[in-house]
Structure 1
Amino acid sequence: MNINDNFRFLCMGLPDDIRRKKECGDFDGAVRLIDKKLAQGKLPEALCRSLTVQREILLRLPQDYPYSRAAAIAQIQSKIADFTEAEFNSLVEEGRIDWIYVQGQQHFFSRFFASLCKTDRVFAARAGEPWDEGTISPREVAANFVKEKGEVSARVRCRAELHIKEEAFVKGEKVRVCLPLPVACDSQSDICIEYANPKPSCITPENAPQRVIYWEQTMQENTPFTVEFSYTRTAQYHDLENPATTSERPNFDTEEVAPHIMFTPYLRALTAELTDGVEQPLEKARKIYDYITENVTYAFQPAYFGIENIAEGCARNLRGDCGVMALLFITLCRCAGVPARWESGWYVEPGSSGAHDWAQFYAAPYGWLYADTSFGTGAVRAGNEPLRRFYFGNLEYYRMAANTEFQADFAVPKDHWRVDPYDNQLGEIEFAERGLRGEEFECKKEILSLELL
């Protein structure tokens, strides 16, 4: 059994004594109680599997929240000399700085400062950080070009590399390494592996739901694992301002998938409120997209590994990153009976690349359409309503899709915990006895070329 399958049982919840220790930040005590309960051998399998996941979450969670209150304030004051504790308290109370308890004391999210700089123009200016929202970006130019031409294809070549950090490298250790590859999908074709070093053990099929190149070898030297690939990305424009109507109501891709795509009472109520009186699937999806893009604030998130219900957490807190928003969109669409599914990989704008997630939804007679809720919220920040509307139904061509399913297994051996048990954009490495954590290796991505066809 793949140990990562245990995540499907994460929604079973925690016994009260363990939950209380987790909430107050007594992680060692919570792990100790889990070990005792698992050792008794009297628990139902579902709860055992949930506790197995929770134990690993408890071991990892504090790493995402390293800053004490004093350290967090000091980090801001190193960039904004006149920043006050009262300002910090206000940001925390407004929910703009994420925190948990660690041993009963508040500890703050590792990327809180970067998140504030990305989403708050005034804060970024005070910190001396660049702010480009509102300027005409390559993203907007590409979106307008797709809208003008109706269909645009680009040939893209990329390079990716994984390298074990020296402090984690063990000479003579057998390693298994995976890097994401482009997957064949509606908008992606003509995929070619141009170069790989060392020689890979396996390249999974083009239609794999999470496609990877895989190496398995015993390492004598700490050399990187590298792949170069090319593909064609095609963006088609759909004008949805005056949409066609249909009586078609397909039921594929409308099911729940534990633990994150769940129709909880709150999400059912929210779906009913957003789609009240709306019959057409396209318009239901539009209502959901509008709600998310106009009400959810973009914020960097801790590792998905440690989040118990991604979609509901986003709906309750009205904060999230690209994947969190995409999962909320997918969950609400499915709850409304609108087929929806995951797609993710990289954003590959020339000179810049990064991991990114988005969604698809199905609406006859158009078929599968795209929705990028996080880029939609970015357009809201920039006051760019046409761009916000573009990302309902459409994408530009600056994409590399590696995953077409959330929470899918790799088609290669994986015996230990993944860094990301749900998605794959940066790659995975495991030794014979354990999986490496994200801080133990480096991933590099590079866009070598992007040419319009």
Structure 2
Amino acid sequence: MFRFDDLKYLKVDLPEDILKLKFNGNFERAVKLIDFRLEKQIPKAMRVRLELEKEIITTIKGEYTYSFEQAFKKMQDNIKDFTEEELIKLQEEGHADWILVDGNVKFNDSFYDSLVKTRTDLEARLINKQETTHERQFIDDNVKDMKENGGASYFIHLTTSVKVKKEAERIGEKIKVHMPLPIDCQQSNIKIVKTTPEANFIAPEDYPQRTAYFETVLTEDQEFSVEYTYENHLKYYNPDSSAVASSQPVFCTEELEPHIMFTPYIKELAQEIIVDETNPLIKARKIYDYITQNVKYSYMRAYSTIINIPEYAALNLKGDCGVQSLLFITLCRCVGIPAKWQSGLAVTPYKIGPHDWAQFYIEPFGWLYCDPSFGGGALRNRNIEKWNFYFGNLDPFRMIANSEFQHEFNPPKKYWRHDPYDNQVGECEYEDRSIRREEYTVSYQLTDIHKI
């Protein structure tokens, strides 16, 4: 059974012999050694850490499926005149995520999509080019609109659905499903139009990781869906550093094990970024600039497989939206600036998908927004106006389901969560085990989005 509070034990180091096997990709022998140690009398902290590691190994094995030859073929089939030397260089430079499995290189399932999204040189060589201009223009226009009109408000009508894949269906058995719902924040007038089947429980609007909970007997091809409407109201902020109050609050400045931790490297990095700056708004901007200028956007493996997410970003200088946001939050807290998490979906007429970002608090302005990945993307595209916008501001094209990182569901999930820290796509489980992320599909249907 998954005990949510046990996540703190991820900060405990693995024994050296297990660590060697893990990094060589010898997962079978690593699990054997873990089981051998679990049979002995060992401290609780080590016992829980080893139990968690077994879950991590199970997850990570399913995320790296491309051999070098398969990865090369994938690139050759989609990128004009792609060479083997290019793939080796992308691997060596850390652009293509890989691990060793039994001594052989295996690339992450998302390596191709990540490369195409983040490397304009590869995108330009696509054999079948993807059209992203309309979505980018839609968001760019909103930046100008919010600056000119002092904000923006949108109505959104959305349905999200979850369906267990055929190979994982256990028809006639009890299934439990947790699906994210909009929370009360910058969103308001939230209405649950319909749940299919009827949800057993819907968490309160102010619950930090809000869900609709289903518990039923699974039928063939059954789909679980939540349909809802809400309004997003956002002001435009252009905070003046000279107006910052001399006294600042200290809430949301603490550590949160095992990720938001002030490790020696995080402390050194924070100090190097802010130097002798004392104004909290300028300090936050320095942190934002460092991340957007130095941390490459990259799709990630499951967060549950990363032992310290902010430090991963700081050490490897790469990460997706959530990884970059957690680094921003951790560095802000490390220098005394209140910062916290928000996440859910990015929703436009052109695309819907999971997204994470951050908030930080500066008196007298209150809670401001920070989206390092959108800001970093704008900087890569030389859109300085948009880069500046995402420090302090957020677009209204979001569905916010989570206001806290690493928070339990209501009601709790019994087994290991695919993502113990966040919830954007939902979680499922049978009576005897969790349903893994690769065993179910998630889909979205946008009925309406219009400016209010």
TM-score by length of 2: 0.97
CA distance in 1, matches of 2:253, 2:314: 19
Residue matched to 1:7: 7
Residue matched to 1:154: 154
Contact 2:59 2:302 in 1 (8 A): no
Residues 335-365 of structure 1, C-alpha deviation per residue, up to 9 Å, x if partnerless? 0110000000001112321100000000011
Contact 2:241 2:279 in 1 (8 A): no
Residue matched to 1:286: 285
Q: Could you tell which deviates more after superposition, 243-252 or 107-116?
A: 243-252
Listed as ranges, the matches of 1:27-426 within 5 Å are: 27-40=27-40, 42-80=41-79, 82-128=81-127, 129-130=129-130, 132=132, 137-185=137-185, 187-240=186-239, 243-426=242-425
Contact 1:6 1:52 in 2 (8 A): no
Q: Could you tell which deviates more after superposition, 362-371 or 131-140?
A: 131-140
Q: How far off is 1:5 after superposition?
A: 3.2
Distance change >3 Å, CA 439–CA 134, structure 1 → 2: closer
Q: Is residue 448 of structure 2 the alignment partner of residue 449 of structure 1?
A: yes
Contact 1:164 1:441 in 2 (8 A): yes
Alignment length (residue pairs): 451
CA distance in 2, matches of 1:448, 1:218: 29
Contact 1:174 1:217 in 2 (8 A): yes
Q: How far off is 1:7 after superposition?
A: 2.0
CA distance in 2, matches of 1:148, 1:404: 28
Report the residue type matching 2:155 in the other structure.
R
CA distance in 1, matches of 2:59, 2:182: 30
Distance change >3 Å, CA 232–CA 47, structure 1 → 2: same
Gaps of 5+ in 1: none
| 1:137 alignment partner, SS class | helix
CA distance in 2, matches of 1:413, 1:25: 32
Say what the alpha-carbon RMSD is for the aligned residues.
1.5
Q: Could you tell which deviates more after superposition, 144-153 or 175-184?
A: 144-153
CA distance in 2, matches of 1:302, 1:263: 23
Q: Could you tell which deviates more after superposition, 349-358 or 366-375?
A: 349-358
CA distance in 1, matches of 2:163, 2:26: 34
Distance change >3 Å, CA 82–CA 350, structure 1 → 2: closer
% identity of equivalent residues: 44
CA distance in 2, matches of 1:284, 1:447: 39
CA distance in 1, matches of 2:66, 2:11: 28
Contact 1:4 1:418 in 2 (8 A): no
Residues 201-248 of structure 1, C-alpha deviation per residue, up to 9 Å, x if partnerless? 000010111000011112243311111101111111111355512112
Contact 2:239 2:365 in 1 (8 A): no
Gaps of 5+ in 2: none
Distance change >3 Å, CA 436–CA 134, structure 1 → 2: closer
Q: How far off is 1:311 after superposition?
A: 0.4
TM-score by length of 1: 0.97
Contact 1:134 1:382 in 2 (8 A): no
| 1:115 alignment partner, SS class | helix
Report the residue type matching 1:394 in the other structure.
N
Residues 260-286 of structure 1, C-alpha deviation per residue, up to 9 Å, x if partnerless? 111111110000111111111111111
Distance change >3 Å, CA 287–CA 71, structure 1 → 2: same
